[in-house]
Amino acid sequence: MVEAAIYTHVFTAAALWSVHQLLLVLDPRSICVENRFDSVTNVPPEWRRWRKELSWKYHLSPFMYVLLGVALAVPGDGTGVFGGPPLVSEPVRLAVGGMLVLQGYISWWSDASCFGVDSVAHAVDRTMAPCTTVVSAVLLLAGALEWQARCFFVASCFTSFIFFGLSQGMLKDGGRKKALFDEFQWWHTWWHCSLPLGAAGALSVNALISGSKGL
């Protein structure tokens, strides 16, 4: 089955990448930051004194992944709570939902709980996030999505990467400027929200169009 082959390769690659990065993080001989996959925070040192001023929206934004994962993993036919025709088999859908739930907690651990603090949380997040993103994108784009839903999801991906780039720009130019710290929170909050909202929107659009066609 084509679907099974695609996901076997994707999950195998994601698992091998994760294990490889974890071994580098745990290897005491890896003294280079790059080899340890950046367990060092990239938050400007001057921002650490504002750690307690992170907004509740910033703290909650990573859990958008959790909500999407739970919604996707609801047992039954289709695509969880979104309805519509099934895009992949139920075991694959449940596995992707589980990955999204785990990613939400890891993102909060790295970006909020360990904000401005050197921690293995950053290495774990930077290992897990690309894997989750790729697997989730394959779930949507390799499945039988309507073209309108595909366009919606691709547009949301481009938008989210713009948000990410803007937030990273605030980190590089941050220094002692409190205004840039506040702006970073704004853009990074939307970075956390945009991909889950885009995926949820694409699945909802797909369900509506499929329903109107009687599929």
Q: Read off the pLDDT of each residue in 121-132 and give the average, rounded to a whole number.
A: 86
Average pLDDT over residues 160-188: 83
pTM, to two decimals = 0.78
| Nearest-angstrom CA–CA distance, 209 and 93 | 21
CA 119 to chain CA mean position, Å:
19
| pLDDT single digits (tens) 139-155 | 777 666 778 888 888 88
pLDDT digits (tens, 9 = 90+) for 57-67: 999 999 999 99
Per-residue pLDDT tens over the stretch 66-75? 999 988 887 6
